[in-house]
Each structure stands twice: as C-alpha cells, then as structure tokens.
Amino acid sequence: MVSAARDNEFDVIIVGGGITGAGTARDCALRGLKVLLIERHDLATGATGRNHGLLHSGARYAVTDRESAEECIKENMILRKIARHCVEETEGLFLTLPEDDLGYQAKFVESCLAAGINAEIIDPKEALRMEPSANPDIIGAVKVPDGAVDPFRLTSANVIDAKLHGAKVLVYNEVTNLIKEGDTVKGVEVYDHITKQTANYYAPITVNAGGIWGQHIAELAGVKINMFPAKGALLIFGHRVNNVVLNRCRKPANADILVPGDTICLIGTTSSRIPFEECDNMFVTPDEVDVLLQEGEKLAPSLASTRILRAYAGVRPLVATDDDPSGRNISRGIVLLDHETRDGVKGFISITGGKLMTYRLMAEWAADLVCRKLNVQQSCITMSTPLPGSEKENIDEISHKTWAKPGTTHKATVGRHGARAVNIGLNDEYDASLVCECEEVSVGEVKYAINELDVHNLVDLRRRTRVGMGTCQGELCACRAAGMLADAHKCTDRAKDDLKNFVNERWKGMYPICWGDTLRESEYSQWIYSGVCGLEGGKCETNKAE
Amino acid sequence: MRFDTIIIGGGLAGLVCGIKLQKAGQKCAIISAGQSAMHFSSGAFDLLGRLPDGTEVKEPLKAISSLPAEHPYSIIGAEKVAEYAAQAKGFFADCGVKVTGDASRNSWRITPTGERKPSWLTIGDFTPLAAKEEKIGNKALIVNILGYLDFNTKFLADSFEKQGTECRIVALKLEEMERLRKNPSEMRSTNIARVMDREGIWETAVSQIRTLLKDEDVIVLPAVFGLKDGSVVEKISETLGKKTIFVATMPPSVPGIRTQMTLKAEFEKAGGRFFLGDTVIESKADENGIIKSISTVNFNDIRMEADNFVLATGSFFSKGLIATPEKVCEPVFGIDLTYREGRENWFNTNFWEKQNYISFGAKVDETLNASIAGKKIVNLYAIGSVIGGTNSLYEGCGGGTAIVTALAAADRILEKK
C-alpha cells in the first residue's frame, strides 16, 4: 500500500525472526505491505528451533484445552498443504502403558472427536505393527494425525516468500530502542552486530514478535506484558528409532512425546520455570537428562541402548492473563495485544503465546490487526498459498528435472528445499562434492545457503542445511564448511573463530550427556581439533541457539 | 593357545611393545579390535610440547623433571625416558618406518588448518620445521585434488602468507578420479591414495602440476600419496626438481595408516600373531591375583594363556576406558584408575579448555604394573593412552607416552626372564 519514499521507511516493522515474526512478515508482504523484519541473532534461534518439531494433531490438548486443540488440527491440515516440504506425514499414536489409567482413553477420544481430531482406538497389536519400536507392554492405543515439521525449514520458507514479496530482512540486528513521539511508536533504533553500526527505521506500526524476549521489547515501549519463561529440555537420539510419533495417553506430563525427524528422533520435554536471566544461556541439568531417559524408554524401550546425540532446551513464552499478574492463570493460547486499546500506546502491537503449530494463525491475526490499523483491505491468503519450495505438485519430478546425475544427495537436498532446490547449482564436480556425509549436504547446497539464505556463520548454515546435525555432530564437515565460508567471506581468521564457536556450540549439547558413545565422539573431536589441527583458544558464547 | 605375552590393543603402543618383545625372542600375540589412533595421525609423534601449567617446552628431555609425580614420564623417571626416546628412532628405522627429529629439541609440524605444533619424530612424508616461524619458501603453489575437501587450501595459504610466503592455489582434475567422484562421499584421502598408488597415476598428477607451475619455489600437496610407499614425496620433488612438501589432511591419515600397517607387518614378520577384529571378554586370575588367561569373542571357549599381559587398549574412543553416567572403568580387567568422581568433574563447558576426562586412566607403578582393588598385579602392564595422569592432548605427549611406556614395559618383561 503505502509506497514509502525512503528506504528506511516501511509500512510495518516486525521484531523477531522466529516462526511468528517470519510468518507475520510473509503474511503482511503477501498483502502488499512494505515489510521490515529484524532479528538480533539468526532466524529460528529461540523457541522456534528448540522444540520437538512436532506437527501436533491437537490431540495432546484435546482434554485440557479445547480451543488450542481445534486451532492445532486446523493448522495441521493447512501446513500439510502449504508447507509440504517441511512436513512429514508420519501419523501419531497415544499409548496407554500398564501404569496409566486406561479409563482416560475414552475421555481422550471423545475430546479429540469434539475438537475435530480424527482419533481412532486401535488394537495394541495393530499399533505395534504400525510402530514396532513402541513398548510391547501397551494396553491401549489411539491413532491420531500427528506428524513431524522442520521448524528451521518452515521459518526459512516464510522468510524467502516475504523477501520474494519485497520484504527487507535484517539478521544480527538488535532493536536497542523504540522511537516514540508522544504516545505513538514511530519506529525502531537498531544495532547491527556485524557492521557495528546503528540505524533508525520507521513505520506506522511495529509488531513485537519477540517470543519470551518480547517482554523486553514491550518495556522499551513502556508497556508491561507478564511473561513466564518455562524451560523445556529435550534429548536427540542418534538415529530414527520410530517412524510414528509416540505420545503417552495421559494428562500432559514430562517426556511423553517421541518424535521422528529426518535422520534422528527426539524425546521431550521437561517443564520448569526459569528466571529471565537464564533465557539467553540455557543448559540442561543431569536431573532433566535422567527424567527424559527414564520416561522415554517407557515409550520405546530401545532408546535405552540408542546413542544420545545431544541435549538442548528451549523456553516457552507463556503469558499471564492481564487480570492475573500472579501468573497462576497462564494461557498456552495465542495472545494478540493491541497496545493502543490496552495501554494507550499507538503504533505498537504484540503477538505472543501460541505454538509453532499455530504460527500461521498467529501471523494472520497480527497481520489482520496491522491491516485494520493501516486501513488496508487485503485479506489473508496464507491458508491456501503454498510456501516457496512447496508450490509444485510433485517434488519427485523436481528431483528428476534438477540434475542429470541421480543420487541420494539430490533426495536429501530436495527434501530440505523442496521445489527451491532447482536454484541450487550442481553444475560441476566441485559443486557435487559432499561437505557433510551424515546429512548429504553438497558444496552446491552450501554455496546456495551462503548466497541466498542469510547465512553468516556455521551455526546459521546448520539451521539452513543440516550440516553438522548428524551422528558425527560436525566432526569433519564443520572444517570443510569453514573452508567454504573463509572463501565466501574472504577471511580465514573469521572462519577459524567461527569453526571454534561451532565446535563449542556442538559441545554444549553433548556435555550434559558426556558418557558412553557421546564421550567417545567428544574425545575424537578433541583429538581432531585440538590435537591433529592444533586449534586453540575458542570461547564459550551465549545466545547461540540449537 | 599359549603365548609368552599377550598384548591387548594394536595401536602404536601395542605394536611397539609387541615388536620389541618378539624380536627379543618372545612368543607374542596382539589382540586388536580394529582401527587405531594412528589412522588419524597428525603425521608426527610428540614427546612433550607443554607443561600442565601451559609453559611451552622447547627441550622435552630437560622439562621432564618439571612434570608432576603422577605423569607417566615421572613414574618411569627422566633418565629412563631419555634412554627410551634415544632408542625410538633406531627402532622405527629397523621397522622400515622413516622418521626424523630429535628428543632433545622439538621441531614443528604444519597442521591441516595451518597451525604449527611442536613435534618429536616426524613421519618421513612430512618436512618438520626447525622453528615455529620458519618460512616454507618465497612462493608456494598449493595443489589440491578437485573436490577433495579435507585439505583446507585457504587456511594453509593464509598461514603461509603470514610468514611471508606468496601462495597460489590450484586444483588437479584427474580422469582417474572420475569413478570415485560418482559417489561424492568417496572423495576421501585413503580412496584418493589408492588411485594415486596405481601405476603411472602420481606421475600423471605430477605432469599436470608441471603445466600449472609458474615461478613457485615450493609445492604444497595434501598427504594423499603412498598407502604402501613412504617415498612418494621425494619422487615428486625429484621429478619436478622443486622442493615439495606434504601437509597432513583431515582424517583418515594416509601416512598414519601406512605406518600402522608397516609396524603390523614387522610384528608378524618377526613371528608375532596379530588377531584383528577381536575383543577380549574376560580374564581369569589365580589366588594371588596373577592373570592366567583371557577369552575373546572370536575364540570363544578356547582360552588364551600367557605369562604376561599388556593392556594397550587406549582411552575412551577405542574403548580402553568406558564411561557410564555414574563412573569410569576399565572393561577388561577392572584395574584401578585415576579419575575424578562426579560427572560434573569430567569436563569443562568450554570445549577449548582442558578437559579432565582426557587425563583419566590406569594407575601404574614404576614398573608399569597395573593394580586391581589396590593390589599390584605383577604380570599385568598398562601402556599408552590407557594410562592416566597426563592430559596428553594439552601437554602434547601422546605419541611419546605410547612409545616410551611400550619400550619400558617390554624391558620390564624381558628383565624378568
């Protein structure tokens, strides 16, 4: 709409490059707005990249939170269509173990059906045929339309589309202040961590999509949002034990979901309140690891003998309702705050709460409010417009068209980028060389990510391509990719520091579980990087996401 | 089956000990689970590069008296360490492994990322530097194999340029590599070396290099030549009439694997039995704690008996030590270890700081005997990285510890006769 005259003027500024911010940026851009998306780290570094990657059917919430359950199943069906290359249609099972109350099952199924979730009681034997890794002692099983979703890919696809529709995206740019005139927010003051410069950007509306960090953004506007950081720890296992999502059929509790994702599977989560100071540097405690293992083995006994790759934790942005500042009455639903009506601050809204699953709906609500305020009539089209990578009918055909030489690398690449994989050059022998064997990432894909997907360092690269996410946790691929980044950035010192940070970031997820094979792998890494290569002097950096 | 000495572990320490015993007339067996740390060798054995407090060591033999009492070198004694270190070069030469270097003064090796690290004995493929800042030449041609990513030309060029060497990077495209390239995960050092070892191939590579060469005075190549032959670097240098140096690659290490194979062949040539791909399950001892026999996975109920047993199983990676959430143990004999209880004491949250777990390992006495439940086992010896008391990565003493303790334990065993 407003064709702003200057290049630091926008229709809307969105603060936060998680899935909510990325989704909101895309929605606004599709409606013709001139959008600026600002993220202080990399995309998907907060709660977005630190969860199960579960495509919830909503069944988990059916008994306790009907509204969330209904939102989930609707969005579940939408994401299967618009984000096919980010979604894996695995199905899910809710298992009743001998120690659980089988009586809960009837109430569970009834609640699911009432919420529109197709839940079907099946014979435990049938369930074990569907998922042989499930605990053979189960006494009940319900099939639900759960699946897996890759949050990094989903965020990246939203950002790509926002950019295709004119949005400007700034990563490693931190909002240091809001520019206010009287009771109106006019824009943001931003510090660029890469160029070390500050800049001002202006828009009639600023959207706070900062997740748990959104409380701080709100404070900059002089607005109070009562948030409660709730830490959730997860464990990643070295291979895919299960192909079907496994849940416990009981009231939601610790470590009762096991989700397959790409080459691995994850068990989670725990739930504990943490102080705000810890949000930027979360660590997993031995007790959390113990609980996750103990409960996980009940869902799939073979987890007891499966190598644990790493431990990590995310923080849910839970919001206390306005009439209850004590935080007792906490909502897990979507919270959209119009600070003009709520607090008398114009030009500023917050979109928070919610879940990865409902990001699109959150974005729709936020974009609706932005459009209302800007008097824009365009309505939302994201429920039916495929994300970049998911447009084409048949992804297999793309794979065939893309390269002359067939191979598993192509499958892995198309799996990660969907139809966008056609943009990845694999023209010569060098492009086809493999950087990461565990995840089959080629030189061509790494080049594409560096050039097209806002990659500034190895950790960013991992989020876009899965380099270093496999069983070796970046043993050799990190060094290979560091060489390519040295080439791209024309700076080997920076690339070496980056390599040291990357190795440290991998270590952060390994030391909570440093025994058995994980310790063996760590010792090997020590030999390679400290011994053979003789690298030294890396530092621990906080704020580096999983 | 009966032997004079059974050595468990076929890495550097196990082989050195086995060769020395076998050549002295003993009947030895080595039981090896498979790969050893030599497969990802740095290209050199280090004796001592740094004291535990971080002080750089230039003259390793002089620095041994400054090491803490629990260090394996201190346990053996500085004089003895010097004696075994002096034997080592001749020992390797007799085995057909060419090494250069001197225990009285460290030389420097160039790492795959262009760092320079102190070293003692350097495998013949590599050219040790006398000083850390030594310039390799005025102009270097850094030559890679197209699509080979474990040789980081950019990092190397940058490090050479810091010493004033002008660098140019080129990549060879060899037809013979095309079959490897069909499966990109095959473009790794050992596979490339296998192709290079075929008749006439390295010569083809060399003639390509000749066409690429301008006025450079030194050629830098990845160490991907010579799985069987340790003199390829000299041949390339002669053919081109230019100084040629190999730089170690990321693992696997071609010179390391060749060295391991050479030592294994030497052991077998001397009459030793090398049981590859076997794992020891349990051991039996008499009432005095003397180990009598062991059983292995492959030999099942056929027990292996010996007068002496040598544990050369390495640390965690090679499963010489096993860590569970609760404790660290040695799985074959359950020998006493030095380690700190409580998982939180095993590691530092910064990967690049000293990690305590690396210094965990067997408690040994001055004869390198291990103990079980506080009792010395007179016919059980521990050698190499299964021994605790040193952070060999930080101190740069892993290779030296393996060689010196292996030679020392062999002497103790031979003295008994």
Lookup result for tokens 């075994």: B84
- For residue B150, the chain A residues in CB contact (below 8 A) are 476, 479-480
Residue A86's closest CA among A164, A128, A23?
A23
Q: What is the pLDDT of residue A406?
A: 42
Domains of chain B: 2-106+257-415 (3.50.50.60), 127-247 (3.40.50)
Rg (CA), chain B: 22
State the count of interchain CB pairs (< 8 A) between A and B: 158
Single-letter amino acid code for the residue at B148: Y
Alpha-carbon span A160 to A389, nearest angstrom: 10
Of the pLDDT bands very low, low, confident and very high (cuts 50, 70, 90), residue A404 is: very low
Give the amino acid at A438.
Answer: C
For CA atoms A233, A235, A240, A241, the dihedral sign is negative
* Contacts A522 to B, Cβ<8 Å: 347, 355
A529 interaction partners in chain B (CB closer than 8 Å): 351
Six-digit token string for B230: 């340790």
Cβ atoms of A186 and A205 closer than 8 Å:
no
Q: What is the DSSP letter of A346?
A: B
Distance between CA B216 and CA B167 in Å, rounded?
A: 9
Q: Does B282 contact A at CB distance below 8 Å?
A: no
- Which of A151-165, A250-264, A329-343, B226-240 is the least confident region? A329-343
Which of A:441-480 have CB within 8 Å of B? 442-443, 476, 479-480
According to DSSP, residue A189 is labeled: E
| pTM (two decimals) | 0.89
Question: pLDDT for A10-30, tens place per residue?
Answer: 999 999 999 999 999 999 999
Q: How far apart are CA B186 and CA A437, in angstroms?
A: 10
What is the distance in angstroms between the Cα of B247 and the nearest Cα belonging to chain A? 11
Nearest Cα residue in chain B from A438: B185
Chain A residues close to B187, C-beta within 8 Å = 433-434
B335 bridge partner residues:
none
Task: Tell the residue number behind the tokens 């431990």, with chain if given.
Answer: A311
How far does B147 lie from chain A, in Å, by closest CA? 5
> Measured between CB atoms, does A265 come within 8 Å of chain B?
no
CA–CA min distance B173, chain A (Å): 9
Q: Which residue has the higher pLDDT, A467 or B395?
A: B395
Report the residue from B115, B149, B253 with minimal CB separation from A433.
B149
Q: Does A544 touch chain B (CB under 8 A)?
A: no
Which residues of chain B neighbour A476 with C-beta distances below 8 Å?
150, 250-251
Which residues of chain A have a CB within 8 Å of the CB of B41? 532
Q: Chain A within 8 Å of B104 (Cβ-Cβ)?
A: no
Walk along chain B (417 residues) and give the pLDDT tens digit of each residue: 999 999 999 999 999 999 999 999 999 999 999 888 899 999 999 999 999 999 999 999 999 999 999 999 999 999 999 999 999 999 999 999 999 999 999 999 999 999 999 999 999 999 999 999 999 999 999 999 988 999 999 999 999 999 999 999 999 988 888 777 777 667 899 999 999 999 889 999 999 999 999 999 999 999 999 999 999 999 999 999 999 999 999 999 999 999 999 999 999 999 999 999 999 999 999 999 999 999 999 998 899 999 999 999 999 999 999 999 899 999 999 999 999 999 889 999 999 999 999 999 999 999 999 999 999 999 999 999 999 999 999 999 999 999 999 999 999 999 986
Binning pLDDT at 50, 70 and 90, where does residue A322 land? low
All residues of chain A having their beta carbon less than 8 Å from the beta carbon of residue B351 are: 503-504, 506-507, 525-526, 529, 538
- Please, which pLDDT band fits residue A545 given cuts at 50, 70 and 90? very low
Nearest to A424 by CA among A389, A460, A391: A389
Of the candidates A127, A158, A161, which has an alpha carbon nearest to the alpha carbon of residue A141?
A127
CB contact under 8 A, B352 and A434: no
**B42/A515 touch (CB, cutoff 8 Å), yes or no:** no
Helices (H), A52-173: 59-62, 66-82, 103-114, 124-130, 151-164
- How many angstroms separate the CA atoms of B339 and B354, rounded? 15
Contacts of A105 by beta carbon, 8 Å cutoff, 6+ apart: A94, A96, A121, A140, A142, A249
Handedness of CA A54, A57, A59, A64 (dihedral sign): positive
Contact list, A492 vs chain B (CB under 8 Å) = 114, 154-155, 158
Instruction: Determine the Cα–Cα distance for residues A386 and B360; give it in Å rounded to an integer.
Output: 55
Within A6-65, residue ranges assigned H as helices are 19-30, 59-62
Which spans in B96-188 are helix H?
153-162, 178-181
Confirm or reject contact between A523 and chain B (CB < 8 A). yes
Residue indicated by tokens 């030679």? B407
Query: Does residue A78 contact residue A52 with C-beta atoms inside 8 Å?
Result: no
Check CB contact of B250 with chain A, cutoff 8 Å: yes
Beta carbons of B226 and B293 less than 8 angstroms apart:
no
Nearest to A496 among B113, B349, B358 (CB): B113
CA dihedral defined by A377, A382, A385, A388, rounded to 10 degrees? 120
Number of H helices, E strands in chain A: 18, 24
Q: By the CB < 8 Å criterion, does A486 face chain B?
A: yes
Tell me whether residues B393 and A526 touch, CB distance under 8 A.
Answer: yes
Contacts of B329 in chain A (CB under 8 A): none
Going by pLDDT thresholds of 50, 70 and 90, the confidence category of residue A487 is confident
Pair A465, A507: CB distance under 8 Å: no
Of A481, A443, A488, A437, the C-alpha closest to A459 is: A481
Which DSSP state fits A263? T
Q: Which of A450, A402, A398 is nearest to A419 (CA)?
A: A398
Nearest to A243 by CA among A263, A227, A223, A222: A263
Complex prediction ipTM: 0.96
Q: How far apart are CA A237 and CA A167, in angstroms?
A: 37
A511–B347 CB contact, under 8 Å: yes
How much is the average pLDDT of A479-496? 89
Mark yes or no for CB contact A476/B150 under 8 Å.
yes
Q: How many Cβ atoms from other residues are within 10 Å of residue A188's Cβ?
A: 25
Q: Could you give phi then psi for residue B35, rounded to 5 degrees?
A: -60, 150
CA-nearest of A431, A61, A374, A467 to A247 is A61
Rounded to a whole number of angstroms, the CA Rg of chain A reads: 23
Mean per-residue pLDDT for A366-379?
97
DSSP type of residue A120: E
The token pair at A217 is: 């953004």
C-alpha to C-alpha distances, B271 to A386, B19, B24, B392, nearest whole angstrom: 70, 9, 11, 32
Q: How confident is the model at residue A416 (pLDDT cuts 50, 70, 90)?
A: confident
Burial of B233 (0-12, 13-18, 19+ CB in 10 A): buried
pLDDT at residue A325 in the model: 56
CB atoms within 10 A of CB A316: 23
Q: How far is B109 from chain A (nearest CA, A)?
A: 10
Give the pLDDT confidence score for residue B120 in this predicted structure.
97
The answer to whether B400 touches B60, Cβ cutoff 8 Å, is yes
Chain B nearest-CA residue for A287? B325
Residue B217 burial class via C-beta count within 10 angstroms: exposed 0-12, middle 13-18, buried 19 and up: middle
Instruction: Give A498-543 pLDDT, tens digit per residue.
Output: 999 999 989 999 999 999 999 999 999 999 999 999 999 888 764 4
Q: Strand ranges (DSSP E) for A321-467?
A: 330-331, 334-338, 348-353, 434-436, 441-442
The reply to whether residue B150 touches residue A537, judged by beta carbons under 8 angstroms, is no
pLDDT digits (tens, 9 = 90+) for A49-82: 999 999 999 999 999 889 999 999 999 999 999 9
A435 → chain B, closest CA residue:
B149
Test the B interface: residue of A445, A475, A476, A523 with most B CBs within 10 Å: A523
What pLDDT score does B224 carry?
96
Provide the percentage of residues in chain A whose pLDDT is more than 90.
Answer: 67
Please state, in angstroms and as integers, the Cα–Cα distance from residue A295 to each residue in A50, A97, A236, following that order.
20, 11, 14
Sheet of B243-247: strand order equals: B166-172, B139-145, B218-222, B243-247
Answer yes or no: is pLDDT of A477 > 90.
no
Q: How confident is the model at residue A289 (pLDDT cuts 50, 70, 90)?
A: very high
Scan residues 188-207 of A and list those with Cβ closer than 8 Å to B: none
Mutation target to probe the B interface, by most B beta carbons within 10 A, among A458, A492, A493, A529 is A492
Residues 142-161 of chain B whose Cβ lies under 8 A from any Cβ of chain A: 146-150, 152-155, 158
